[in-house]
Chain A
C-alpha cells in the first residue's frame, strides 16, 4: 500500500499531517498489520498536552498493547470518537482512521520526521528481519 505523500512518519509507525498550525495523527498501515485486529484505543482527552517522542496513548489487540508516541508537541483539540466504538476502522484504513487532532506547538518539529519515500524504505528494511 502506498504511503500518502502529504504525511510525515515516525520510526514508531505514527503518521502526522500538518495543516498550518494544526495537525492530524494516526498510525500507519504497517502498524495495524503488525498489531492484528485492534480491539481498543486509549486516547488523551481534548485539552491535554502531548510532547514529541513521549507516549500519548496506546492501541490494543487481543494479545498485545502498543504505546503511541507523539510525532510532535501540542495540545489535543479533537479526538476521533468513532474509534471508541469501532476501533476496527484502523485495520480497515489506517491512513484515514485518524486518532487525534492537535494544535501544533512548533511546526518545525516535523522537519526531522521521515517522508513517505523514506518511511517506505524504513519499513521494507524492518520487515526483512
Chain B
C-alpha cells in the first residue's frame, strides 16, 4: 500500500467455529438449585406431549461460551471502536450510565402486569420521558408503544387513517417523496394505503409545484423526512404544510433525522401534525447489532383520542396509572407498553444533557457533517449544492469513470479502520455516498476519515484494482452473496 493507514492495522485474531462444533455430551454451563417441591413424573403429567429429546442443542461449559462469544465479538466493528459514517443512522455514543440504570432491580425485574401501586417508578419514567419528547418535538401528546421506527410509522399511518375516517372518509393515498427510506412505502401498504410517489426537484427537495398538483381530497397524508435524506432542510416547509392542510391532509414527519433539529427547531412549530422518533438514533440507545429500537409517535391534539391504548394518566389520588377506556383508539400495536428498557436509556441521555447539552449536541452534529463536506469536496462529486445539515451526500460519479463504484470505495474504507458510509441510498442519487458523522466524532477521528477518503480517491486514479478487490485486511474477504441467495443455508446441520 502506498499510503500508511494511521488508524487501523492488522493483529492476530482468534478463529472460532460454530458453537455446535464444540459440543460434547456431558459438558454443562448450567446448574439448577435442588427442587423444594416434590419431583414430578413428566410422563404421567404430560403423556404423549412429553418431549424426550432436544435434538442438536449444544452442551458446552461456561468458559467455552465466554471464549466463543468474546472471540466472535472481536470480529465486529462497533461505535466503541470508531466512527460509523452511516447516513440517517445517527451512530452516536451509547452512554454506559444508561446501561447501569436500566439494570436496577426494580426496573429490570418489573412485570408489566404488576399492580400500579408498585409500578410508580416505571410509570414516572414513562411520564417524564413523554414530557421531554413532547417538548422537544413541539407536539401535544405521544405514544411510546411502537417498538421501532417502522413500527412507529405504521402507528402514525393508523392514526392518520382513524383521523381521516372521523372526518368522513379515510382517503386512499399517501404521498411519499422518491428520496424516502424504504420503510415509508412498505408501511403505507401495510395500512391499506396506495403509495403515490412525489418527485424531488433539481435541488433534491420536495417539488412544491408537483405537491400542489398531486394533493387532493384523496390523499390522506404526506410522509416527509426533514431534513431530507440528502441532509437538507426543506425550506418551503410552511408552503408544504399549508398545501396539505388546505385540502384536509396531514403532514407526517419521519423523525429519523431529528439529530439535526433537537433544541434548534421543533417540527410541531413548522406544521407537522404527527411524527415518529427513533430512540436508537437521536436518543443514544444502543444499536446492538440491529436492535432493539423504539419508535414513539408524537401527535398534535386532534390526533390524541386515536392513540394506541392504554394511555398514561394521573389518577384522582395523584398516582400514575394506565387508562384503557379509549373508545377511539386505533388499538394496540404490540403487547404491553413498549420497549421500556429503551425509555430508561433515552431518558438517562436526556437528563445527562439538559437543555444546553441537547442544543450543543445538535450544533456539533451539523458542524461535523459540514466539516467533512468541506474536507471531501473536490475529491468526490457533490450532486446537490444545497447546504447540508447533519449529513451530506456525495456520489461516485468521478470514480465511476475508472469503473469504481460507491460499494467498492466503502469496502476499501474498511481497510482504513472505518465502517462504510451508507451506499446506494437515497435512490435519487445514483452511486450515493451518504455520510453522517454525528456529534460523537472528534476532530481527530474526522481528520483520519477525511484523509482515508482522500487516499482512496487517489488510489482509484492510480491503482483502482486495490479498491475494487477491497477489503484486504478483514477476517473474511468479500463474501459470495449470490450463492447465499441462490441456495440459502440458513442453519447448521450435523453432518
Touch A–B, Cβ below 8 Å? yes
A88 vs B485: C-alpha distance when bound (angstroms): 12
In the complex, how many angstroms separate the beta carbon of B311 from the nearest chain A beta carbon? Answer: 40
Q: Type the 1/0 row for A79-92, where 1 means its CB is closer than 8 Å to any CB of B.
A: 00000000110000
Counting chain B CB atoms within 10 Å of each CB, the highest count among A37, A87, A88 belongs to: A37
In the complex, how many angstroms separate the beta carbon of A119 from the nearest chain B beta carbon? Answer: 24
Return the contact of B481 from the options A40, A62, A88 (Cβ within 8 A).
A62
A49 in the interface, Cβ–Cβ < 8 Å?
Answer: no
A39 in the interface, Cβ–Cβ < 8 Å?
Answer: yes
Q: Type the 1/0 row for B401-429, where 1 means its CB is closer than 8 Å to any CB of A.
A: 00000000000000000000000100000
Residue of B nearest to A37 (CB): B482
B486 in the interface, Cβ–Cβ < 8 Å?
Answer: yes
A39 vs B483: C-alpha distance when bound (angstroms): 8
**A87 surroundings in chain B (CB, below 8 A):** 486
Range class of the B interface residue count: under 10
Q: Type the 1/0 row for A52-63, where 1 means its CB is closer than 8 Å to any CB of B.
A: 000000001011
A52 vs B486: C-alpha distance when bound (angstroms): 29
A60 vs B488: C-alpha distance when bound (angstroms): 14
A87 vs B482: C-alpha distance when bound (angstroms): 11
Total A-B residue contacts, Cβ distance less than 8 Å: 13
Question: Which A residues from 29 to 68 make CB contacts under 8 A with B?
Answer: 37, 39-40, 60, 62-63
In the complex, how many angstroms separate the beta carbon of B405 from the nearest chain A beta carbon? Answer: 12
Range class of the A interface residue count: under 10
**B485 surroundings in chain A (CB, below 8 A):** 39-40, 60, 62
A40 vs B483: C-alpha distance when bound (angstroms): 11
Question: Which B residues from 470 to 493 make CB contacts under 8 A with A?
Answer: 481-482, 485-486
Counting chain B CB atoms within 10 Å of each CB, the highest count among A40, A62, A63, A87 belongs to: A62
A87 vs B483: C-alpha distance when bound (angstroms): 11
**A62 surroundings in chain B (CB, below 8 A):** 481-482, 485
In the complex, how many angstroms separate the beta carbon of B487 from the nearest chain A beta carbon? Answer: 9
In the complex, how many angstroms separate the beta carbon of B478 from the nearest chain A beta carbon? Answer: 12
A87 vs B488: C-alpha distance when bound (angstroms): 14
Residue of B nearest to A86 (CB): B486
**B482 surroundings in chain A (CB, below 8 A):** 37, 39, 62
**B481 surroundings in chain A (CB, below 8 A):** 62
A37 vs B482: C-alpha distance when bound (angstroms): 7
**B486 surroundings in chain A (CB, below 8 A):** 39-40, 87-88
A90 vs B284: C-alpha distance when bound (angstroms): 46
A96 vs B481: C-alpha distance when bound (angstroms): 25
A60 vs B424: C-alpha distance when bound (angstroms): 17
A37 vs B484: C-alpha distance when bound (angstroms): 12
A41 vs B157: C-alpha distance when bound (angstroms): 33
A40 vs B486: C-alpha distance when bound (angstroms): 6
A61 vs B424: C-alpha distance when bound (angstroms): 15
**B424 surroundings in chain A (CB, below 8 A):** 63
**A37 surroundings in chain B (CB, below 8 A):** 482
A30 vs B482: C-alpha distance when bound (angstroms): 19
A1 vs B481: C-alpha distance when bound (angstroms): 27
In the complex, how many angstroms separate the beta carbon of B96 from the nearest chain A beta carbon? Answer: 36
Counting chain A CB atoms within 10 Å of each CB, the highest count among B424, B481, B485 belongs to: B485
Residue of A nearest to B482 (CB): A37
Question: Which B residues from 440 to 494 make CB contacts under 8 A with A?
Answer: 481-482, 485-486
**A40 surroundings in chain B (CB, below 8 A):** 485-486
A31 vs B95: C-alpha distance when bound (angstroms): 49
Residue of B nearest to A129 (CB): B430
A108 vs B422: C-alpha distance when bound (angstroms): 48
A62 vs B485: C-alpha distance when bound (angstroms): 7
A62 vs B480: C-alpha distance when bound (angstroms): 10
Residue of A nearest to B486 (CB): A39
A63 vs B482: C-alpha distance when bound (angstroms): 10
In the complex, how many angstroms separate the beta carbon of B408 from the nearest chain A beta carbon? Answer: 14
Q: Type the 1/0 row for B114-149, where 1 means its CB is closer than 8 Å to any CB of A.
A: 000000000000000000000000000000000000
The contact sample of 9 A-B pairs, CB cut-off 8 A, is: A37-B482, A39-B482, A39-B486, A40-B485, A62-B482, A62-B485, A63-B424, A87-B486, A88-B486
9 nearest A-B residue pairs (beta carbon) = A39-B485, A37-B482, A62-B481, A39-B486, A62-B485, A62-B482, A39-B482, A87-B486, A40-B485
Mark B residues whose CB is within 8 Å of A. Answer: 424, 481-482, 485-486
Mark A residues whose CB is within 8 Å of B. Answer: 37, 39-40, 60, 62-63, 87-88
Given A39-B482, A40-B485, output 11 extra A-B contacts at Cβ < 8 Å.
Answer: A37-B482, A39-B485, A39-B486, A40-B486, A60-B485, A62-B481, A62-B482, A62-B485, A63-B424, A87-B486, A88-B486
